[in-house]
Structure 1
Amino acid sequence: MNRNMKQWVEEQIASTEFRALPILSFPAVSLMGITVRELISGSSLQAQAMETVALETNAAASVSLMDLSVEAECFGAPVHVSDDEVPTISGSIVSSLEDVEKLAVPAVGTGRSGLCVKAIEQAARNIKDRPVFAGMIGPFSLAGRLMDITGIMMACYEAPDTVHALLEKTVLFLKEYALAFKKAGADGVVIAEPMAGLLSPEFGEEFSSRYVKKIVETAQDEEFIVIYHNCGGSAVRMISSIVGTGAAVLHFGNAVDMAEVMPQVPRHIPALGNIDPAGELREGTPESIRAAVTALLEKCGRWPNFMISSGCDIPPSTPWENIRAFFDAVRLFNETAASGKSA
């Protein structure tokens, strides 16, 4: 039975306890005894990773891999894969308008995109106690991987028509990808748009938010939501544009202060963030993590629509004692808070 996600969003805001929803998937490899290379290569293993995390934690939702190489690989970009790290794109494939015009838009199912859709289908069948969210890249970040970061940043100034032509192709694929996840049984999708955090607010609207909005308008409804992720330091200055995407939930990285973000986010939109995934969750200690979680909850707890999360995808090598400390800190805060969650 499909879940009413509009109601789920309202329940998160109305909850008298803080809910934790970190971007947590890759660390499942240590519990499963497999490598990252093996995880990204099999749909059953990806689904099993999501199920493992769901069994190990009380996260508010189950989130699939934030592997931002999948979509670029579908377009033909070369991918570097290792046993221990998240895959990365190792070279650009377009640099001019002529290149973009020749670029074919792949069908969903090309490359590893088919594996990711199958993984969500299996996870959605087996995880019933919380929503299941698929992960995908955003249109500008995908374009940046196809053109490379330096190339696309220069093109935004010097060849905007080329960037828009490329974005029209990336968003066409991403709309179909989101719909494939929806058909597979996902309750929503996390759109990671990290490169948008490098743009000015004006360029963020022109080259990112307007295209993210197209995905939202295509896929989001009462039973399927879009969670928008921006981990850039300029996200605070882009709030109006980000909210304008229409995404039901917003997620911010640790480059920004959530206390600056929260007053600008409408109260009906949950805003998630933003414990440092590498510097704190991976490299910290259980004690330092508990302190960081407590401090963030104390700072942002007066906003009912605040939900605590990692600032971005938690690295594969993160110790599980640290991950458990994160959830324990949230639980302890809820247990000891005198007045609970208040406006």
Structure 2
Amino acid sequence: MKRQMSKWLEEYRNAAEKKAMPILSFPGKTLIDAELDALVHSGRLQADCMEAVAKAFPQAAATVSLMDLSVEAEAFGSKIFFNNTEPPAVIDSIIETEEDVDALRVPEVGEGRTGECVEGIRLACEKITDRPVLAGIIGPFTLAGRLMDMSKTMIACRKKPDMLHKLLEKNTEFLIKYVLAMKAAGANGVVMAEPAAGLINPKFNRAFSLPYVEKIRAACEDDNFLFIYHNCGDTIPQLKDIPELTGIKAVHLGNAIDMEEALRILPERILAMGNLDPSNVFCLGTPELVAAETKAMMEKCGKYPNYAPSSGCDIPPATPMENVEAFYHAVEDFYKQK
């Protein structure tokens, strides 16, 4: 369903009581009784999963199709390890030398599982019409870490910057095509996961991540399509560069960061979502722990008008549904008491 997302963002940011917007995708497999391996291979199941989550919980938006950070690397030719307990993972790097980068072919949307993910968004948009539907893609620097190996990518920032820029240009070319395909399929926005940027210092982030992120954002975002930037690193020093170097209007931050400190740094015009621990609290905790930690998070951050309650990252597949329910209830209770 087409929406004026610039207006939606303004209304959501200005709302005195905000519906929670966790990154809740993989645990939805429980609601449709699907195996994880089947879910990551089927656009139909991904749409069914998003619909089931949307029906079960009062989300502000249906987020995201799946935060599967292997999809784009697979389209470039990476080998992927699949199982039924954890999200898919890239097995080996395919980039060793600058010659490998020169020979790397930029794939078309539809190769690997990208076609299924686009189809999942198309079907989800038919099923979910009462709130925005947000797609998910990997960020350009994080994709480089999948294709080249993360440690080698970090070394390349210092020793092989020209090679790394060549790879990032190809990544960006593909990601623009991919996100525009999601947009054409009906998505109201996209969450770009760029967690690897949290591993590098601000200087390298300004050189090797943010310019390419901004190029993708500028190519896809308009009044009807929202771009959300996700970084789950301890990135306080990097936050000042976001409003200065990009047009990003919404960020999603991980639990490694002090959320209140981030809210003090970011201008009020930028919506800041986060950041309850997805593993130790959502997945491994009890409903009582989830409720207590959510209450503490809301009491600390809920006074900031541009804050939106969310998970710190994608909630793990094995997370009990009662823990997810406890999170939503705790957010609602905070606003009722307020």
TM-score (norm 2): 0.98
**Counterpart-to-counterpart distance in 1, 2:69 and 2:241:** 23
Code of the aligned partner of 1:36: L
- The superposition leaves residues 58-86 of structure 1 with CA deviations (integer Å, 9 ceiling, x where unpaired) of 01100110000000000000100001110
Q: Does the alignment pair 1:78 with 2:102?
A: no
**Counterpart-to-counterpart distance in 2, 1:135 and 1:39:** 15
What SS does structure 1 have at the residue aligned with 2:171?
Answer: helix
| Structure 2 counterparts to residues 1-343 of structure 1, below 5 A | 1-63=1-63, 64-233=65-234, 235-243=235-243, 244-337=245-338
**Counterpart-to-counterpart distance in 2, 1:238 and 1:20:** 25
Give the deviation of 1:263 after TM superposition: 1.1
Q: 8 Å contact 2:31–2:53 — kept in the other structure?
A: no
Give the deviation of 1:247 after TM superposition: 2.1
Q: Which moved more, 1:259-268 or 1:242-251?
A: 242-251
Q: CA RMSD in A?
A: 0.8
Code of the aligned partner of 1:236: I
**Counterpart-to-counterpart distance in 2, 1:245 and 1:208:** 11
**Counterpart-to-counterpart distance in 2, 1:311 and 1:65:** 15
**Counterpart-to-counterpart distance in 1, 2:238 and 2:274:** 16
- The superposition leaves residues 6-32 of structure 1 with CA deviations (integer Å, 9 ceiling, x where unpaired) of 011111111111321000010011121
**Counterpart-to-counterpart distance in 1, 2:41 and 2:179:** 20
Instruction: Figure out how many residues of one structure are paired with residues of the other and give that number.
Output: 336
Give the deviation of 1:45 after TM superposition: 0.3
Give the deviation of 1:35 after TM superposition: 1.1
Q: 8 Å contact 1:225–1:247 — kept in the other structure?
A: no
TM-score (norm 1): 0.97
Give the deviation of 1:242 after TM superposition: 2.6
What SS does structure 2 have at the residue aligned with 1:164?
Answer: helix
Gaps of 5+ in 1: 338-343
Gaps of 5+ in 2: none
Identity of aligned residues (%): 49
Give the deviation of 1:41 after TM superposition: 1.0
Code of the aligned partner of 1:258: M
What SS does structure 1 have at the residue aligned with 2:209?
Answer: helix
Over 6 Å off, 4+ runs: none
Q: 8 Å contact 2:141–2:196 — kept in the other structure?
A: yes
**Counterpart-to-counterpart distance in 2, 1:241 and 1:127:** 35
Q: 8 Å contact 1:71–1:142 — kept in the other structure?
A: yes
**Counterpart-to-counterpart distance in 2, 1:186 and 1:62:** 10
**Counterpart-to-counterpart distance in 1, 2:127 and 2:270:** 28
Code of the aligned partner of 2:330: A
Give the deviation of 1:272 after TM superposition: 0.3
Code of the aligned partner of 2:217: V
What SS does structure 1 have at the residue aligned with 2:210?
Answer: helix
What SS does structure 1 have at the residue aligned with 2:26?
Answer: coil
Q: 8 Å contact 2:232–2:253 — kept in the other structure?
A: yes
**Counterpart-to-counterpart distance in 1, 2:55 and 2:18:** 19
